[in-house]
Structure 1
Amino acid sequence: MTKPKPGDYSPFAAGYVGLVGDNNVINMLEQQMDTSYKLFSNLTNEQGLYAYAPDKWTVKQALGHMIDTERTFAYRALVFSRNYTELPGFDQDVYVNNTDFNSQDIKDLAEEFRALRQANLYMVKAFTDEQLARTGIASNHLFTVISFVYMLAGHERHHLNLFKERYGIE
């Protein structure tokens, strides 16, 4: 898969795309699936309630956000691959604040993320080159389907970095 170019995604998404670097994005998505599952499934529910500062997400909330975003980016890729052209944005804080990730078992959240990533990998691997090049509008910005594939990997890399740097989890 060819890395998307600036202009294939919003300026905000550039950070996520950049975190993929020159890695094979499919291999990265597969490796992350295993890495994240091992990381989160080995935590206790008590550890999942840790937040590194007041008004910051707990580990469970951050993982729940990763699940929400994985679904959202994958849905956008699916919709645009089928030639539908515009979708609204989403507010990550509204999403997290309107569910109770803290009451869920951390192992269930880890399993949900792994299952979701596995399903998304099947979808991504089935996209044709033509589908990967298709575009649509999300959050008032143009995106290609391939940009969302890279954003899936980059968003997870971003949060794995935060878990290491701010939560002390690796």
Structure 2
Amino acid sequence: MDEKALTQLKFPIGEFIKPEVISNDQIKEWVADIEAFPSRVKILTTNLSVEQLNWRYRPDGWTIKQVVHHCADSHMNSLIRFKLALTEDSPTIRPYHEERWAELIDSQDNDLSYTLSLLEGLHYRLVQLQRNLSEEDLKREFIHPEHGRRFTLAETIGIYAWHSNHHLAHIQQALGYQGKFLE
């Protein structure tokens, strides 16, 4: 498989591009995507067999179950980053090795029910927080040491809306390919 095809499989909806201006309408749209994410994942995964849960969205990519478990891990970190940014002055967040987390035993679990419940509660809290941010709150920021820059909460809402849709596309892709790829 050529590099262009692999990139398309890795980023089926493209990479996140921060708008020059983030409007209130854009924030509302992003928050709606974040709110819908748990139910959309549940619809896609609830009746999958163990074989299907182990289908990959691209060669050497994660399995469907790893993608779902990763989203819970990532979005837990997101909620914490929001809270840190709202309660501290430009805190430096702690990154994590998501590829290593995806190999841990809990990310190999074929029972997604607990992770889906976690996503539902986590997104409820995340959306509750995001819908009540003031204009000043949206300007608050944290420092991500891996990227060496500051992220505003407004931008971060967009990143996690993109992240949700990005991984939904991965699940759909794995289901579409039925775990098989042409080389």
**Pair 1:129 & 2:135 matched:** yes
**Is residue 134–residue 144 contact of structure 1 (8 Å, CA) maintained in 2?**
yes
Alpha carbons of 1:124 and 1:17: their partners in 2 closer, same or farther (altered >3 Å)?
farther
Q: Distance in 1 between matches of 2:17 and 2:105?
A: 28
- 1:74 equivalent in structure 2: 79
**Larger Rg over CA atoms:** 2
Distance 1:163 1:103, change over 3 A: closer
Q: Is this contact kept in 1: 2:76–2:122, CA < 8 A?
A: yes
Given candidates 154, 159, 163, the residue that maps to 2:162 is 154
Q: CA deviation at 1:156?
A: 0.8
SS of match in other structure, 2:142: strand
| Residue matched to 1:89 | 95
Give 4+ residue runs of structure 1 displaced > 4 Å after superposition. Answer: none
Q: Give the drift of 1:53.
A: 5.5
- 1:10 aligns with none
1:42 is aligned to 2:50: no
**Counterpart position of 2:22:** none
The aligned counterpart of 1:16 is 16
- CA displacement at 1:67 relative to structure 2: 1.0
One-letter amino acid of the counterpart of residue 170, structure 2:
L
**Secondary structure, in 3 states, of the residue corresponding to 1:86?**
coil
Query: 1:42 Cα shift?
Result: 2.9
In 2, distance between residues paired with 1:25 and 1:52? 24
Q: Secondary structure at the match of 1:137?
A: strand
Q: What displacement does 1:32 show?
A: 2.5
Partner of 2:109: 103
- CA shift at 1:18, angstroms? 5.4
Structure 1, residues 100-136: CA drift from partner, whole Å, max 9, x if none? 3222412222222222111211121232221111122
Aligned residue for 2:4? none
Calculate the TM-score normalised by the size of structure 2. Answer: 0.72
Aligned length: 156
Normalised by the length of structure 1, the TM-score is 0.77
Q: List gaps (5 residues or longer) in structure 2.
A: 1-13, 20-24, 178-183
Question: 1:62 Cα deviation (Å)?
Answer: 1.1
Task: Report % sequence identity.
Answer: 20
Any conservation in 1 of the 2:33–2:164 contact (CA below 8 Å)? no
